[in-house]
């Protein structure tokens, strides 16, 4: 742990001047103010240690709630191939988790019975050290896949971490990183009608996946009291609006995991269908959306983030948004700050294959560039304004496809030389 921040978990934690909610696509929740990043809600302790899984740096983290009444929720990857930590955790008491154990460097995927044994042993070791049933421990591993995770180092690391648990998540949030450029974390204080609670989260990810070196993980804590059903509902909705809406390279990880734990230590209860729940949900939504945007912005090699919004028939909006977000041609145009709407229309047409006529409207940064599938003539001034707009760090694309009733969005990064280098030159 970073001693300088060790007091940040205390009640006097100062509000942060520079904002966490940097993206124009995330509304700052009105009832929230920011605490020092790493501040944990009441009832939680965490640690991150160097266990020798990485050549250098922190690589094993433990986060625990000391409140017996803690509730929890979890979400895992839908990939048919899942890591042993996902397989083992899926069978845990996901509504009653008290602790999570996370490691970077090795994802423990495709390692057969040996990998399963390592996952179970790490869960049992943490349970022993924390005096909890194994089924109340969630696991999360990220890093190389199809490579053995050194189990002894992991278990030694868990012991060291448990011995060093403290009131902030600064080191924990570093121990989960792989190719990330830096930690992704925030801590909020929420003024709910029923009282003040804290909400914090730590995430990592520089790709939906870049096997051998990445995965998306997120750990959420609050000291509000929520029954497990409410926490699960809110977590599910907010994950669908955040981590489910991002793409670095279109590649679904084998290890993606989100854990949310509510200690209840604030004494403030968030009941369903109350103003408390509404405000808490708003804040959780904003928190996860901004963290998801940080994952995209930190996508391997990324220099710019795009948002594609698609409106039209319910069954069309998702495939069109994914086709645009995952097109290497759209992604290289984003890198090149090129308002290349032909590529956006081509990807849209691919997703709509077999559905004529091609009646699609396209706006880039508020400029209508195509109507009913056909290019519009832009004035020189409009074109220049468009070129300036697409050179900014965030670029918005809006598509209207046939039909109505559906609307979705996907946030995506550009495709760069560094992405190729990270994944080709340095992977072996």
7 touches a copy of itself by CB under 8 A: no
- The footprint of a copy of itself on this chain (CB under 8 A) covers a number of residues equal to 64
Contact code string over 165-204 relative to a copy of itself, x by CB under 8 A? ----------------------------------------
Residues in region 243-262 near a copy of itself by CB under 8 A? 249-254
Active-site choice (70, 118, 215, 230): 215
The answer to whether residue 215 is catalytic is yes
Tell the residue number behind the tokens 């995330």, with chain if given: 26
Category of 234 on φ-ψ map: left (φ > 0), alpha (ψ -120 to 50) or beta: alpha
Of residues 243, 241, 198, 237, the one with CA closest to residue 217: 243
Which residues are within 8 A (CB) of 120 and not within 5 positions of it... i.e. 6 or more apart?
A: 88, 134
239 touches a copy of itself by CB under 8 A: no
348 touches a copy of itself by CB under 8 A: yes
Q: Which of 343, 361, 365, 409 binds a copy of itself (CB under 8 A)?
A: 343
Taking the least distance from each CB to a copy of itself, the nearer of 52 and 250 is 250
Which stretch of DSSP H or E encloses residue 293?
helix 275-297
Contact 262, 229 (CB under 8 A): no
Residue 24 exposed, middle or buried by CB count within 10 Å (0-12, 13-18, 19+): exposed
Q: Quote the CA–CA distance of 329 and 338 in Å, as a whole number.
A: 11
350 touches a copy of itself by CB under 8 A: yes
Helical spans, DSSP H, in 131-227: 151-163, 170-175
Give the shortest CB-307-to-a copy of itself separation in angstroms.
Answer: 19
417 touches a copy of itself by CB under 8 A: yes
Taking the least distance from each CB to a copy of itself, the nearer of 2 and 78 is 78
Q: Which of 370, 395, 397, 399 binds a copy of itself (CB under 8 A)?
A: 370
127 touches a copy of itself by CB under 8 A: no
Beta bridge partners of 306: 395, 412
Q: Which of 62, 217, 360, 364 binds a copy of itself (CB under 8 A)?
A: 360
Give the shortest CB-331-to-a copy of itself separation in angstroms.
Answer: 9
Sheet holding 195-204, edge to edge: 32-35, 184-192, 195-204, 217-222, 257-262, 71-76
ω into 357 cis (within 30 of 0)? yes
Q: What is the DSSP string of 352-409?
A: TTT--S---EEEETTEEEEETTEEPPPPHHHHHHHHHHTTSSEEEEEEE-SSSEEEEE
Taking the least distance from each CB to a copy of itself, the nearer of 100 and 395 is 395
106 touches a copy of itself by CB under 8 A: no
Determine the Cα angle at 175 with ends 212 and 42, to 5°: 140
Q: Which of 98, 204, 212, 245 binds a copy of itself (CB under 8 A)?
A: 212
Binding site for a copy of itself (CB under 8 A): 78-82, 109-112, 144-147, 209-212, 249-254, 327-329, 332-333, 335-336, 338, 340-343, 345-350, 352-356, 358, 360, 370, 373-375, 414-417, 419-421, 423-425, 427-428
Catalytically active residues are 215
């Amino acid at each position: 742990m970073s001693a300088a921040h060790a007091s940040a978990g205390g009640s006097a934690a100062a509000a942060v001047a520079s904002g966490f909610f940097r993206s124009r696509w995330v509304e700052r929740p009105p009832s929230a103010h920011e605490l020092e990043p790493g501040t944990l809600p009441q009832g939680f302790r965490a640690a991150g240690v160097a266990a020798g899984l990485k050549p250098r740096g922190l690589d094993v983290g433990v986060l625990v709630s000391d409140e017996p009444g803690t509730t929890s929720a979890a979400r895992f990857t839908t990939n048919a191939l899942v890591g042993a930590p996902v397989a083992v955790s899926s069978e845990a008491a996901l509504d009653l988790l008290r602790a999570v154990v996370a490691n970077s460097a090795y994802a423990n995927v495709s390692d057969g019975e040996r990998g399963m044994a390592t996952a179970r042993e790490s869960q049992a070791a943490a349970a022993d050290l924390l005096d909890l049933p194994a089924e109340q421990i969630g696991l999360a591993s990220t890093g190389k896949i199809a490579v053995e995770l050194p189990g002894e180092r992991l278990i030694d690391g868990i012991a060291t971490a448990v011995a060093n648990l403290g009131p902030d998540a600064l080191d924990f949030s570093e121990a989960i990183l792989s190719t990330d450029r830096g930690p992704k974390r925030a801590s909020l204080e929420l003024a709910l009608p029923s009282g003040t609670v804290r909400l914090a989260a730590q995430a990592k990810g520089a790709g939906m996946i870049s096997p051998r070196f990445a995965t998306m993980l997120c750990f959420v804590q609050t000291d509000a009291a929520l029954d497990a059903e409410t926490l699960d509902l809110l977590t599910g909705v907010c994950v669908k609006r955040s981590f489910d809406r991002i793409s670095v390279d279109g590649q679904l990880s084998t290890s993606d995991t989100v854990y949310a734990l509510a200690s209840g230590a604030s004494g403030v209860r968030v009941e369903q269908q109350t103003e408390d729940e509404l405000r808490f949900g708003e804040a959780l939504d904003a928190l996860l959306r901004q963290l998801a945007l940080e994952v995209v912005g930190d996508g391997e090699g990324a220099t710019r983030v795009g948002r594609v919004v698609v409106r039209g028939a319910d069954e069309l909006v998702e495939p069109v948004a994914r086709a645009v977000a995952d097109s290497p041609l759209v992604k290289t145009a984003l890198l090149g700050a090129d308002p290349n709407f032909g590529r956006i229309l081509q990807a849209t047409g691919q997703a709509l294959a077999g559905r004529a006529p091609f009646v699609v409207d396209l706006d880039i940064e508020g400029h209508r560039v195509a109507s009913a599938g056909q290019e519009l003539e832009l004035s020189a001034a409009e074109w220049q304004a468009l070129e300036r707009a697409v050179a900014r760090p965030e670029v918005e694309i809006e598509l209207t496809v046939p039909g109505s009733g559906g609307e979705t969005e996907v946030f995506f990064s550009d495709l760069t030389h560094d992405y190729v280098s990270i994944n080709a030159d340095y992977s072996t």
